[in-house]
Amino acid sequence: MLAFELTISEQIALAPGLSTASQWIRWLQAGDAQEKEHSRAQNPQEPPVLDFLPAMQRRRLSALSRLVFAAAWPILKQHPQCPVVFSSRNGEINRSFQLLIELAKGNGVSPTSFGLSVHNAIAGQLAIHHAITPNSRPFQPTATAWKTPCWMPG
């Protein structure tokens, strides 16, 4: 059995329309799904700028990747040696689906798009751009432990 302690000393949560603690609290207190959607719509949010990345790298990031970078980068800047846990139920499923559509049409796919479509692509990109590759390892718990894979440096 895997056992470990995890202390979360700082967190940033981002989603389209939800970036501040008060916005998240209002969203959590909303009743049904329609109220929750209305709560998010009250706070339109532009995609994160990510001006700390080179333009070519920013261009390749999906909307999900941009949110991950916007959330993780400030914490990693303050705590460069802190472990990172990346957990995603579906990863880059939208990018993967688009590649499958192109293949079904008989078209080729870009090697870059293919490389960025894998489940842990976002964690890999974060590790590359923030130079947190030493002592990092992928971690795939069993289905009974968690429903989502994650990536942990350490």
Angle at 125 between CA 50 and CA 106, to 5 degrees: 105
First-to-last C-alpha distance (Å) of the chain: 19
Burial 85-100, CB ≥16 within 10 A → b, else e: ebebeebbeebbeebe
pTM attached to this predicted model: 0.69
CA distance 104 to 101: 5
User: Which percentage of the chain shows pLDDT scores above 90?
Assistant: 8
Q: Is the pLDDT of residue 46 over 60?
A: yes
Quote the mean pLDDT of the chain.
76
Name the β-bridge partners of 151.
86, 138
- In the chain, the percentage of residues whose pLDDT exceeds 70 is 77
Residue 148's pLDDT band, with cuts at 50, 70 and 90, is very low
pLDDT classification of 45: cutoffs 50, 70, 90: low
Q: Which helix H or strand E contains 55, and what residues bound it?
A: helix 55-60
- Give every CB contact of residue 82 below 8 A, 6+ residues apart in sequence: 75, 76
